[in-house]
Amino acid sequence: MKKFSLVMGIVCVVLLIGINIIYASNTAEDEKKTAAYLKEIGVFVGSNSGFELDRKPTRIEGIVLLIRLLGKEGEVLAEKNISSSFNDVPQWAIPYAEYAYSNGITKGIGKGKFGSAQVLSAAEYMTFVLRALGYDDSKGDFSWDNSVNKAVALGIIDKSNSSQVINSFDRGKVVLISHKALQTKKKGTNIRLIDELVTKGYIDVDKLGKAGFLEKSSGTELNILDFGAIPNDGGDDSDAIRTAMFVLEKSNYNTIFIPNGVFDIGSTIILKNGVIIRGGEETTLLVKANIKQLFDISKCSNVTMKDMKIDNNGYLKHYVIFGVSTEVKENITIHNITSVNGGYNFLYTKNIKYFKVTNNKVYNTFHRGMNMYNPYDILVEGNLVDTTQHQFGISIEGGNSSVFEQKKIVVKNNTIKNVEDGGLAIRALNSSLADISVMNNTILNVGKAGIKVTIEVNFDGTKISNIKVSDNVINGFANNYAEAGITVSDYNGKQNVYNAEIVNNLITGGGKSVYGIRVQNSKDIKVNQNTIKGTFLDSGLLFEGSAYVLAANNIIEDSAVTHYAPYQGGILVSMSNNITLDNNTVKNSGSKDNKVNGILIYRSSNNVVKNNTITDTRNEPFQLYPIFESDGGGPGKWSENNTFINNSYSSNYYDHAVVTDRSKIE
């Protein structure tokens, strides 16, 4: 008899029947049904006379069934030419009796006899079962004559019927006790006897679905209640999820369902390829131990996680979902998960392709909300990140360029708020990024930048191209010098950020010494139809070290600088060339104590300023400052070849433009 079919039957019985052993409601029909399931998969065979459930069991029958419960029958029957230590064991039963004897399960009854035909008492069988569950009577865990009471304490036998079990112990009771024992956790663990058998591979998994032994599972879904999970009981349910995943991996099921209720998790769950894990409308996973990460997706693809709440409970050390490994992770979806109360990051992963992170809610992380490295074709949509203590709410970074080309990044309809550092960062480290879309995001009350698309310092061999930042709302950002509501920059000064559009964004409430939109060391940029309103801004628009920029139809209002800033303006062009400022409106630049220009051209040449309207500034509406030779040693000269066409200005502190004869004003 194959061990797979034997143990498979045990598991099937556990998963289907759900009978609380030896309750008053148990009937002969319950015993018959349970025996039939055991017979189908070879655990309880019966005889030519049938199951004989009313007959008293013998000691050898009890030993055989126990060995099957242990998943050891295959090992037992593999032994050949075994001699018997007893003189009363039938030939067919010698392997079983010898295994039980050599492994300390039983010592026989003395005088060379095993007692094969002797009637098995309830106390004796419960002693066998308790030993299978890891309890040791030689160490005082229980005594054989008190084994039934121990079984009552463990929930294997109902207290109200313990006397019936003792006084009328028959094969029917053996069947029911065996079934209940499989559902009982082994001593000192959160692992049921059945879980141990399943994970050791003593299962013909295909029979689980075919024979209908998964009572609460249906279709392509495995319900973790069928694997020993119990909601709201305070017990660790991690192993139930792992066992369900083991079965799923070897069957035609594709989904693990975690129903409504609170399920405790005390160890990391490593997800497998092709699994869907989902919750119900009110499913909560409660972290109950100090673990580094909750879910590990480091070595899997084609995975979906969705529809659950995760309460990290202050225990989680690092990550809710972790996937940092050299393996490429493809086709992963993380949807509609709410994470509360801790963890460094909700999501930390790299080498990802076709990755979707949608409609999640992340509260109170220690480091970042979400962090994704080395992306290709990813969608981050509809998420909420609320209260992150360090760095960015959402961070996407280009890392190792040898993995694959890193592009097709869409970040839209997210809300990021109450972050100590910045809102959203897309950064190239040692790999280029391309085809980036940042749309319709709302960023509120962040400590530094609202949105950054940047090449970081010391990664000057990389590029970022084909960028669109549009229709975002940023309100309350940056109390740090030189930060901005939106920054597009190559921090290495190489203008390797190019071909970008910054369109139709609303930026308000910036902090002291910051900018509305900052374009730095970049080229081929369009900045159109943005509205920037807010006090304490150094400049509404800053173009620094950049070239070939069109800034049109923007509104900059109330950029009231509160410290001395001679080189600031509603719009500032600094050390740049071929910048076109067309049809922008600058209103109320500066403050009572600080004179700020409407548009300032600083050390820049070959720029065009046309059709702009400047009103209510605290200095000249337009002004140019000198540009110096690159080596710093030559004579100073004015900004050159800048053209001012058809601009209007009124109600300014000085209603005249300061230009030079090297530039043209029309």
Instruction: At 331, list the tokens.
Output: 């086709």
Using pLDDT thresholds of 50, 70 and 90, give the confidence band for residue 655: low
**Position 402 pLDDT exceeds 80:** no
Q: 3-state DSSP: the chain helix, strand, coil percent, rounded to 5?
A: 20, 35, 45
Between 30 and 335, name the one with better pLDDT: 335
pLDDT score of 594: 58
173 in the same domain as 42: yes
pLDDT tens track for 449-477: 999 999 998 887 899 999 999 999 999 88
**Which range scores top for mean pLDDT: 96-110, 112-126, 489-503?**
489-503
Amino acid letter, 252: N
Between 5 and 230, name the one with better pLDDT: 230
pLDDT score of 661: 39
384 in the same domain as 530: yes
Rounded average pLDDT over 1-13: 36
Q: Exposed, middle or buried, 550 (CB in 10 Å: 0-12/13-18/19+)?
A: middle
From 256-260, 302-306, 459-463, 493-497, the region with the lowest mean pLDDT: 459-463
**Position 595 pLDDT exceeds 70:** no
pLDDT score of 630: 38
486-499 burial, b at 16+ Cβ within 10 Å, e below that, comes to bbbbbbbeebbbbb
pLDDT score of 38: 65
Contact 616, 588 (CB under 8 A): yes
Most distant CA pair in the chain, distance: 123
In a domain, 448, yes or no: yes
From 153-167, 287-301, 324-338, 453-467, the region with the lowest mean pLDDT: 153-167
Between 231 and 79, name the one with better pLDDT: 231
C-alpha to C-alpha distance for 496 and 539, rounded to whole angstroms: 24
44 in the same domain as 153: yes
pTM of the model: 0.85
Range of the domain at 202: 27-210
pLDDT tens track for 246-266: 989 988 899 999 999 999 999
Look at the alpha carbons of 160, 166, 168, 169 in this order and tell me if their dihedral is positive or negative: positive
459 in the same domain as 601: yes
Using pLDDT thresholds of 50, 70 and 90, give the confidence band for residue 330: very high
Between 586 and 527, name the one with better pLDDT: 527
Contact 59, 120 (CB under 8 A): yes
643 in the same domain as 522: yes
**Position 631 pLDDT exceeds 60:** no
Using pLDDT thresholds of 50, 70 and 90, give the confidence band for residue 153: very high
Between 282 and 168, name the one with better pLDDT: 282
Alpha carbons within 13 A on the beta-carbon side of 189: 18
pLDDT score of 635: 43
**Position 633 pLDDT exceeds 50:** no
In a domain, 664, yes or no: no
In a domain, 102, yes or no: yes
pLDDT tens track for 526-550: 999 999 987 566 788 999 999 999 9
Residue 634: strand, helix, or coil: coil
C-alpha to C-alpha distance for 563 and 490, rounded to whole angstroms: 27
Percent with pLDDT over 70 in the chain? 82
Q: Exposed, middle or buried, 461 (CB in 10 Å: 0-12/13-18/19+)?
A: middle
In a domain, 180, yes or no: yes
321 in the same domain as 198: no
357 in the same domain as 490: yes
Rounded average pLDDT over 114-142: 91
Residue where a domain stops, chosen among 210, 237, 264 = 210
Using pLDDT thresholds of 50, 70 and 90, give the confidence band for residue 641: confident
324 in the same domain as 188: no
Q: In this structure, what DSSP letter does residue 389 have?
A: S
pLDDT score of 280: 96
Using pLDDT thresholds of 50, 70 and 90, give the confidence band for residue 621: low
pLDDT tens track for 341-373: 878 899 999 999 999 999 999 999 988 899 999
**Position 660 pLDDT exceeds 70:** no
In a domain, 263, yes or no: no
Contact 227, 199 (CB under 8 A): no
Using pLDDT thresholds of 50, 70 and 90, give the confidence band for residue 132: confident
- Name every residue whose Cβ is closer than 8 Å to that of residue 597 and which is 6 or more positions away in sequence: 568, 569, 570, 589, 590, 617, 619, 620, 621, 622, 623
C-alpha to C-alpha distance for 85 and 97, rounded to whole angstroms: 9
Percent with pLDDT over 90 in the chain? 47
510 in the same domain as 390: yes
Domain harbouring 444, CATH code: 2.160.20.10
Between 642 and 512, name the one with better pLDDT: 642
Query: How does the average pLDDT of the chain come out, rounded?
Result: 84
C-alpha to C-alpha distance for 568 and 574, rounded to whole angstroms: 10
401 in the same domain as 524: yes
Residue where a domain stops, chosen among 210, 243, 269 = 210
Q: Using alpha carbons, select from 371, 379, 353 the residue that is nearest to residue 301.
A: 353
Q: Exposed, middle or buried, 615 (CB in 10 Å: 0-12/13-18/19+)?
A: middle
Using pLDDT thresholds of 50, 70 and 90, give the confidence band for residue 566: low
C-alpha to C-alpha distance for 201 and 210, rounded to whole angstroms: 18
Using pLDDT thresholds of 50, 70 and 90, give the confidence band for residue 22: very low
C-alpha to C-alpha distance for 384 and 397, rounded to whole angstroms: 20
Q: In this structure, what DSSP letter does residue 57 have?
A: P
Rounded average pLDDT over 313-322: 86
**Residue for token pair 């230590």:** 85
How big is the chain by its Cα radius of gyration, in Å?
36
Using pLDDT thresholds of 50, 70 and 90, give the confidence band for residue 622: low
Rounded to 5 degrees, what angle do the CA atoms 360, 363, 364 make? 150
Using pLDDT thresholds of 50, 70 and 90, give the confidence band for residue 592: low
C-alpha to C-alpha distance for 75 and 508, rounded to whole angstroms: 73
In a domain, 303, yes or no: no
pLDDT score of 340: 94
Contact 450, 443 (CB under 8 A): yes
pLDDT score of 12: 37
Structural domain count, the chain: 2
pLDDT score of 623: 62
320 in the same domain as 202: no
**Position 182 pLDDT exceeds 60:** yes
**Position 165 pLDDT exceeds 60:** yes
From 22-36, 278-292, 300-314, 371-385, the region with the lowest mean pLDDT: 22-36
Residue 358: strand, helix, or coil: strand
pLDDT tens track for 421-439: 899 999 999 899 999 999 9
pLDDT score of 1: 34
C-alpha to C-alpha distance for 515 and 537, rounded to whole angstroms: 5
198 in the same domain as 327: no
In a domain, 11, yes or no: no
In a domain, 244, yes or no: no
Residue where a domain stops, chosen among 186, 210, 234 = 210
